[in-house]
Amino acid sequence: EPTTVTIAIAANAAAAGGENSAASSKEIGYYRGASFNSLNPVVWFDTSQPGSITGTNPVTEWKDKSINGRHATKTANNSAPKLNATSGPNGGAVVEIRRSGGDDFLAVGGAPMKAKEHYYVFRASNPIDRFNYYGGVLGHTSGRGSNYLWQHNQPYFHSNQYPESVKKNGGALVNSGNRNISPVNTWMVLRLTVNNNSLAPKSNYRIGECDNYNADVDIGEIVAFDSVISDQKRAEMEGYLAHRWGM
């Protein structure tokens, strides 16, 4: 679990322009064992966190592992995301999002937020290398700006508004064309950075749905930040997830 740490600067501890500083303090999240402990993700969902998931079929809540308390809950009657305890990478647990028989998603609660840079451990649940519909892993329902959609029946993104860039399994950065991430039906660590077209904080983010569309995906972990983090921290973040999931 993250520990809240308060960093405090005493009055007159620093000076600039001939003036002494006022006293100030800031709370940050310390994530024991994680190399990105000072970055303060806006949300962090991890199926391996003990006690973070309530219910199995359906999942009714997935607790936010960050210090922000943006827990994701089942809010629609026809939504039935399912916990599969053993089908993830190396037998880990995953949350299954399915279109058949409902509209699976979990609504992210708490204070409004913006999610500029996303990190996912996921796969498309499909016997072929295609997304079976439009959708996503984490998105909002306020249109396509600073959002994205898969392209139906393809291993890439919908052209309405592409992500700014994507990077799969620590490989090459893709920031042009349709952002192809084939094969999509195998487990991956995906870094996805949305565009800047609608970055105002929003209170309608959802797990398993983007702009009211969803596809069949299996999700092990989601971490999102409100800004682009440094290249070094990006590499650490991707390495942490790959090591954590044995990928």
Look at residue 172 and tell me whether its pLDDT is greater than 70.
yes
For residues 62 and 106, the answer to whether their CB atoms sit within 8 Å is yes
**Total-model pTM:** 0.86
Mean residue pLDDT across the chain: 90
Counting Cβ atoms within 10 Å, is residue 17 exposed (0-12), middle (13-18) or buried (19+)?
A: exposed
Task: Tell me what pLDDT residue 29 has.
Answer: 56
pLDDT band of 141, cuts 50, 70, 90: very high
For 232, the token pair is 């070094």
The pLDDT of residue 160: 95
pLDDT of the residue at 33:
46
Structure confidence at residue 67 as a pLDDT band (50, 70, 90)? confident
Q: Per-residue pLDDT averaged across 144-167, rounded?
A: 97
Asked whether the bond before 183 is cis by omega within 30 degrees of 0, the reply is yes
Share of the chain above pLDDT 70, in %: 85
- The whole-number pLDDT of residue 35 equals 47
Q: For residue range 147-157, what is the model confidence (pLDDT) as tens digits?
A: 999 999 999 99
Q: Which residues contact 176 (CB under 8 A, 6 or more apart)?
A: none
